Amino acid sequence: MQPIVKIQSLSKVYQGGQQALKAIDLDINEGEILALLGPNGAGKTTLISIICGIVSGSSGSISVAGHDIVSDYRVTRGLIGLVPQELTLGAFDTVWNTVNFSRGLFGKKPNPAYLEQLLKDLSLWDKRDSELRALSGGMKRRVLIAKALSHEPRILFLDEPTAGVDVELRQDMWRLVRRMNDSGVTIILTTHYIEEAEEIADRVGIINGGELLLVDDKHRLMRKLGKKVLQIELKHSIDELPAALADYNLEATEDGRHLVYTYDTDRERTGITALLQTLNELGLSLKDIKTSQSSLEEIFVKLVSSR
Task: Give the C-alpha separation, 272 to 34, whole Å.
Answer: 34
97 near another protein, rule: CB under 8 A: yes
In the complex, the smallest distance separating the C-beta of residue 58 from another protein, rounded to whole angstroms, is: 10
Task: Tell me which of 43, 78, 161, 210 binds another protein, using CB under 8 A.
Answer: 78
54 near another protein, rule: CB under 8 A: yes
Task: Tell me which of 21, 38, 106, 275 binds another protein, using CB under 8 A.
Answer: 106
74 near another protein, rule: CB under 8 A: yes
84 near another protein, rule: CB under 8 A: yes
Residues 243-282 within binding reach of another protein (CB under 8 A): none
Is there a contact between 227 and 262 (Cβ–Cβ < 8 Å)? yes
Based on its alpha-carbon atoms, the radius of gyration of the chain, rounded to whole angstroms, reads 25
Tell which residue, 195, 161, 191, 190, has the closest CA to residue 176.
161
286 near another protein, rule: CB under 8 A: no
Residues 134-163 within binding reach of another protein (CB under 8 A): 147
Residues 166-225 within binding reach of another protein (CB under 8 A): none
Q: Please tell me the count of residues contacting another protein according to CB under 8 A.
A: 34
From the list 79-87, 168-176, 190-198, 294-302, the region that binds another protein by CB under 8 A is 79-87
14 near another protein, rule: CB under 8 A: yes
Tell which residue, 75, 76, 74, 64, has the closest CA to residue 10.
64
DSSP secondary structure of 76-142: HHHHEEEE-SS----SSSBHHHHHHHHHHHTTPPP-HHHHHHHHHHTT-GGGTTSBGGGS-HHHHHH
Q: Which residues contact 238 (CB under 8 A, 6 or more apart)?
A: 252, 256, 284
- What are the distances in angstroms from CA 94 to CA 82, 85, 97, 148, 261? 20, 21, 5, 16, 60
Is there a contact between 255 and 297 (Cβ–Cβ < 8 Å)? no
25 near another protein, rule: CB under 8 A: no
Question: Among residues 92 and 129, whose Cβ is nearest to another protein?
Answer: 92
Is there a contact between 127 and 97 (Cβ–Cβ < 8 Å)? no
DSSP secondary structure of 255-277: TSSEEEEEEETTSS--SHHHHHH
In the complex, the smallest distance separating the C-beta of residue 10 from another protein, rounded to whole angstroms, is: 15
53 near another protein, rule: CB under 8 A: yes
108 near another protein, rule: CB under 8 A: yes
Task: Give the C-alpha separation, 156 to 184, whole Å.
Answer: 11
Task: Tell me which of 25, 66, 86, 219 binds another protein, using CB under 8 A.
Answer: 86
52 near another protein, rule: CB under 8 A: yes
Tell which residue, 112, 105, 98, 106, has the closest CA to residue 144.
98
Question: Among residues 64 and 230, whose Cβ is nearest to another protein?
Answer: 64
Task: Tell me which of 23, 105, 244, 301 binds another protein, using CB under 8 A.
Answer: 105
Question: Among residues 75 and 229, whose Cβ is nearest to another protein?
Answer: 75
Interacting residue ranges for another protein, rule: CB under 8 A: 14-15, 52-56, 73-75, 77-78, 80, 82, 84, 86, 88-93, 97, 100-109, 147
